[in-house]
Amino acid sequence: MLKIEDLHLSFGGIKALQGVNFEAGAGEITGVIGPNGAGKTSTLRAISRVSDPELKRGEIWLDHQPLHNMASHQASAAGLALVPEDRRIISGLTVEENLKLAQIAPPIGWSLDRIYELFPRLKERRKQEGVTLSGGEQQMLAIARALARDIKVLLLDEPYEGLAPVIVDEIEKTLSLIKSQGITTILVEQNAVRALKLADRAVILDTGGVVFDGTAEEVLNNAELRAEYLAI
């Protein structure tokens, strides 16, 4: 289980997070949603420790192991994987080389065969340069690359952005399969309706704090909450 306590993060004078608290249950999908600038990306960056210098206060625990004093590579070795919004596919490398690169150091996760079973499209295109894939395929490669390491928690920043609904359907199926393997997922999404339909739990952020923490179903059934924070 991932436990986030009292996260504070600032960029110069801008307070991006002002006390974020929530828990993500093992093997659950937690949707983190909220208006622009609410602090969603900052929360993922703080959890994965890529924004280390700016973390003012707060604790991050993964199965009782403290992560808040770790560097990002240590958090990654402990089982966290961030798939950032821009996907960071490495140019000049094929699909398979991108995957193999993720496996050069332990902890090594899924084998290439297992990854290709989940992503047959990547298998077909394994010799193609990663950056020439379509947007949806690049998102799949970015998720596959996270699974190539032995992870407990998958942190996804706007995985549906710019993708056609039919491709989002495919990504959702993949995320359900990943969930069935016991991996904990935190899904940051602008597309709140899609995120809530897939998620077990929902956290709504606004101006750097948590304004709702409950089940995804509760949000879908609460018109007031939806109108106030999600404009849906």
Binding site for ligand ATP (CB under 6 A): 11, 14, 16, 34, 36-42, 190
Residue (9 or 102) nearer to ligand ATP, CB? 9
Minimal distance in Å, beta carbon 189 to ligand ATP?
Answer: 9
Q: Which is nearer to ligand ATP, 19 or 37 (CB)?
A: 37
Q: How many CA atoms lie within 13 A of 7 on its CB side?
A: 34
Least distance in angstroms from the C-beta of 42 to ligand ATP: 3
123 Cβ neighbours under 8 A, 6+ residues apart = 116
Q: Which amino acid is at 105?
A: A
Q: Which two tokens stand for residue 127?
A: 């010799």
* Sheet bearing 65-66, strands edge to edge: 14-24, 2-11, 55-62, 65-66
Radius of gyration of the CA atoms of the chain, in A: 17
Grouping H, G, I as helix, E, B as strand and the rest as coil, residue 228 is helix
- Residue 53 CB, shortest distance to ligand ATP, in Å, is 11
Residue type at position 206: D
Q: Between 96 and 158, name the residue whose CB sits nearer to ligand ATP.
A: 158
Residue number with CB closer to ligand ATP (144 or 187)? 187
- For the CB of residue 230, give the shortest distance to ligand ATP in the complex, in Å: 12
3-class secondary-structure state, position 160: coil
In the complex, the smallest distance separating the C-beta of residue 39 from ligand ATP, rounded to whole angstroms, is 4
3-state helix, strand, coil in the chain (%, to 5): 40, 30, 35
- Strands 201-206 and 29-33 turn out to be parallel
Minimum Å distance from CB 10 to ligand ATP?
9
For ligand ATP, the closer CB: 13 or 106: 13
Q: Which of residues 18 and 94 has its CB atom nearest to ligand ATP in the complex?
A: 18
